[in-house]
Amino acid sequence: MVQPVLLYRPVSFRNNIKVSNIFQILKQYASPVDIEEVTGKVGEILAVSADNYSYENLKLIYSVIDLTSLNSTDNESKIKAICTKINEFANHYPDLPNVAGICVFPSLAGCAKYYLKVPSVRVVSVAGGFPFSQTFFEIREQEARLAVKAGASEIDMLLNVGKFLEGNANAVFGEIQKLKTSIGKIRLKVILETGALKTLDNIKAASIIAMEAGADFIKTSTGKLETSATPEAVYVIAKAIKEFYLRTGVKVGIKPSGGISTCEDALIYFTIIKKVLGDSWLNPKLFRIGASRLTNNVLLELEKLRPETSTI
């Protein structure tokens, strides 16, 4: 593998980059996205993704799921029930890994923290004015802090899509940088809302801004728009993450999210990550899938494929 060339500051100093420098930094990634190339590469991946249908790969996919509940009907009873299923999972499936996280609203982060008894499963909270980020930044920042105080170990925030689309990269960069500084070592996933960004060039630029501002993960979507994760968007994000890694030596994670409910869907994104970023990204520290219905479908497929020696 090509060794990364450290062109500027490593991750521990990214939050010291001044807002005024973001346009200069973006110029280093100035090559436009080749739409025909992306379409061709994604087509190749779609053609071979089914080849990755295996017991071991589906186990890995299960282990990177952020089990998500982000509905207006959510309450403590519902989150407690989800946590109970996670807590009891090993009793029913001792040979399988648990999910990576449970993703909830900020007001329910404390509830998830209280009822969740599996140390490896993270409490993930959307914060920062989810799902549109159309409120005062001070409120968004405070919401993230309160979610962390309540027990969230990861924060999923939405990039300010409106400001991005009007060309205000400085404001977008500054907000992400400030919010990351506010939550310190807590892992930050920045949601691009790729369906609203419209173009692949916009998706690439938004990915770079987020990474330079301190994002630990790039997440595709809120799941609240008609268009959520797509193979093309995830491919472009993965390529941007690889370019960032080769420039800085920093590995940023990736989280396809929204509308992913079947094993076939999940295997497409698994294959994109494997092809573009390599096997070292295929773990919960660098790869997540945001989903609510996927878990049951993966378990059904694992039951069909289970080895005779398995106890599930």
* Residues that are catalytic: 156, 219, 255
**Whether residue 131 has a cis bond before it, omega within 30° of 0:** yes
Helices (H), the chain: 22-27, 35-48, 55-63, 76-92, 109-115, 137-150, 161-165, 169-183, 194-197, 200-213, 231-248, 263-276, 294-305
CB contact at 8 A, 87 and 122: no
Q: How far apart, in Å, are the Cα atoms of 12 and each of 128, 215, 246, 250?
A: 23, 12, 16, 10
List all residues 6 or more positions away from 166 whose beta carbon is below 8 Å from its beta carbon. Answer: none
Q: How far is CA 112 from the centre of its chain?
A: 19
How far from 199 is each of 157, 195, 206, 222, CA to CA, in Å? 21, 9, 11, 17
Q: How many other β-carbons are positioned within 10 Å of the β-carbon of residue 198?
A: 11
Q: Which value, in Å, is the radius of gyration of the alpha carbons in the chain?
A: 19
Assess contact for 52 and 270: CB atoms under 8 A: yes
